[in-house]
Amino acid sequence: MTIAAIMQSHGTDIFTAAPGDSVHAVTAKLAEKRIGALPIVDGGRIVGIFSERDVIYGLAAHGPAMMDKAVGDVMTSPAITVTADTPILSALSLMSRRRIRHLPVADGDRLVGFVSIGDLVKYRIEHIEAEASAMRDYIQMA
């Protein structure tokens, strides 16, 4: 099971922001889309990630003036990424070790997908439930 399996179940829309976008505009986009993070892309290249945590850290460091800054000035960079052929368990382990909840999926430095820890856990649970069901069916047939 790889990240590609999760990407197949997602739509093709990936919400992104540019490094020059204001923190205010990107925060509004997070709220509007009800998401926790956005990959920051410049010319198709992943240059960082901006999350709810970046908002909190920025407000603590800069106060309300942070909202007028460019997101490129306060984003987390470089972004930790995975590839489509990364095993799901490896991605979950990476997220746990690095204490992150979102991963851009890259092909080189190009963004091809975006997954959250919720996506990975949901997929994993569905897979475990399917295995358990198959095992119950097998036992009943025996």
Number of domains the chain contains? 1
Closest C-alpha among 6, 50, 5, 1 to residue 26: 50
Distance CA 105, CA 125 (A): 21
53-77: b or e for each residue (b if 16 or more CB lie within 10 Å)? Answer: ebbeebeeeeeeebbeeebbebbbe
Distance CA 127, CA 1 (A): 9
Q: What does the pLDDT look like over 82-108, one tens digit per residue?
A: 999 999 999 999 999 999 999 999 999
Q: What does the pLDDT look like over 15-73, one tens digit per residue?
A: 999 999 999 999 999 999 999 999 999 998 999 999 999 999 999 999 999 999 999 99
Residues spanned by the domain of 22: 3-141
Domain of 24, CATH number, reads 3.10.580.10
DSSP code, position 70: B
Q: What does the pLDDT look like over 107-141, one tens digit per residue?
A: 998 999 999 998 898 888 887 787 777 778 778 87
Read off the amino acid at residue 142. A
